[in-house]
Amino acid sequence: MSSYAKPIDHLIEALSKLPGIGKKTASRLAFHILRSNLSEAQALARAILDVKEKIRLCSICFNLTDEDPCWICQDEQRVREVLCVVEGPNDLIAIENTGVFKGRYHVLHGTISPLEGVGPENLKIKELMERFQREKISEVILATNPTVEGETTALYLTDLIRPLSIKVTRIAYGIPMGSEIEYSDGMTLTKALEGRREI
Ligand SMILES: [Zn+2]
């Protein structure tokens, strides 16, 4: 039972469907929107519609984009021979934000997960293999997460790519800055040791 006017109820209901937003937060947001001026509310509504109407997948790397090919694939300054394979668009953004990687990407849109019924055919793996025929790639960096699914996917891809005489590398995972060895779990420590390099 709610005593609000119907449009307010509808807004609260719509907002509370968002992840991490409970009824209380939803009504706080709804009243914030109600108090804001019309142009602010219109900008919010427009922004929501824009992502649904304008965002699609890049036909080359499958990154989210509003232009095809995406801005990274269009960038002539990028190293064209090196591909960094990531699970999702958020991983791409995280790597991009470091400013360290100058190559291009391939977004898988998930990981192989037999438990959840996700097989290689559900990911952009066929599309990755097709890129090797079209493009001259010398190195593939596998930047999937250090989870069971991420490791499984990396191994699967390694088996597919190695026979093509393309160098396959895996990003090194280690102990996060500020944390301590004695509190690190076994997988983190193993990866830290495996990813060691000469100093
Ligand atoms: Zn792209």
Q: How far is the CA of 68 from the centre of ligand 1 (A)?
A: 7
CATH number for the domain spanning 29: value is 1.10.8.420
| 40-82 residue pLDDT tens | 999 999 999 999 999 999 999 999 999 999 999 999 999 999 9
Least confident of 6-20, 134-148, 172-186: 172-186
For ligand 1, the distance from its centroid to the CA atom of residue 36, given in whole angstroms, is 37
The average pLDDT across 158-178 equals 89
List residues bridging with 113 in a β-sheet: 118
Distance 59 CA to ligand 1 centre (A): 7
Question: Ligand 1 center to residue 195 CA distance, Å?
Answer: 28
Query: Are 26 and 101 within one domain?
Result: no
Q: How far is the CA of 132 from the centre of ligand 1 (A)?
A: 15
Mean per-residue pLDDT over the chain, rounded = 93
| Domain region containing 26 | 6-54
Q: What is the pLDDT of residue 173?
A: 80
Give me Rg for the CA atoms of the chain: 22
C-alpha 162 – ligand 1 centre gap (Å): 23
Is the predicted pLDDT of residue 112 greater than 60, yes or no?
yes
Asked if residue 181 belongs to a domain, the reply is yes
User: Is the pLDDT confidence value at 1 over 90?
Assistant: no
Same domain, 24 and 118: no
pLDDT in tens, 87-101: 999 999 999 998 889
pLDDT at site 2: 63
Q: Which of 11-25, 34-48, 88-102, 164-178 has the lowest mean pLDDT?
A: 164-178
Ligand 1 center to 199 CA (angstroms)? 35
pLDDT band for position 182 (cuts 50, 70, 90): confident
Ligand 1 center from residue 84 Cα (angstroms): 12
In angstroms, what is the span from residue 63 Cα to ligand 1's centroid? Answer: 5
Does one domain contain both 34 and 100?
A: no
Q: Quick check: 38 pLDDT over 80?
A: yes
Q: How far is the CA of 22 from the centre of ligand 1 (A)?
A: 36
CA of 71 to the centre of ligand 1 (A): 7
- How many angstroms does the Cα of residue 62 sit away from the middle of ligand 1? 6
Residue 168 contacts residue 161 (beta carbons within 8 Å): yes
125 and 158 together in one domain: yes
Q: Who's near 91: CB < 8 A, 6+ residues apart?
A: 107, 143, 145
Residues 81 and 154 in one domain: yes
Q: What is residue 66's DSSP assignment?
A: S
Q: How confident is the model at residue 175 (pLDDT cuts 50, 70, 90)?
A: confident
For 98, which DSSP code?
Answer: H
Would you state the pLDDT for residue 183?
83
* CA 130 – ligand 1 centroid, Å: 14
Residue by residue, what is the 3-state secondary structure of 5-28? CHHHHHHHHHHCCCCCCCHHHHHH
